[in-house]
């Protein structure tokens, strides 16, 4: 898998090396295949993809909240309502929206595997 390398990836790789000479080389574009540069790029790419997936999954909920909270006194204000309040108007949310949100949050915070202990 080819990952786009940014200058921030190069700079991060250069920052962790103990050799000033290698740091200078890593800051240039000639060492983009170096393990350090690749590691920073892959980490950034994975984080960015995860954030985008979570944002996409939560967007329908944010849109529903914006439509529900009229802000002009004609509808309930979400900021003032107790968390346990029921909302009767979820016209734009679908089962798919709920599934995507559940999957995004599960992927972001997976449940730890149980650890077997010795008696």
Question: 17: which 2 tokens?
Answer: 């090396």
- Confidence class of residue 57 from pLDDT cuts 50, 70 and 90? confident
Alpha carbon distances (Å) from 45 to 31, 69, 77, 96:
18, 35, 38, 26
Reported pTM: 0.48
* pLDDT one-digit tens code per residue, 68-112: 655 565 655 556 665 555 556 666 666 677 777 777 767 766 665
User: What is the per-residue pLDDT for 19?
Assistant: 92
């Amino acid at each position: 898998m080819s990952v786009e390398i940014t200058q921030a990836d190069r700079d991060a790789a250069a920052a962790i090396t103990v050799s000033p000479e290698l740091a200078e080389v890593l800051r240039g574009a000639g060492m983009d295949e170096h393990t350090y540069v690749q590691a920073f790029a892959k980490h950034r790419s994975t984080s960015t993809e995860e954030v985008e997936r979570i944002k996409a999954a939560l967007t329908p909920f944010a849109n529903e909240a914006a439509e529900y909270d009229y802000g002009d006194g004609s509808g309930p204000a979400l900021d003032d309502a107790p968390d346990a309040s029921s909302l009767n108007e979820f016209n734009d949310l679908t089962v798919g929206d709920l599934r995507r949100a559940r999957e995004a949050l599960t992927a972001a915070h997976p449940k730890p595997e149980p650890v077997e202990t010795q008696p």
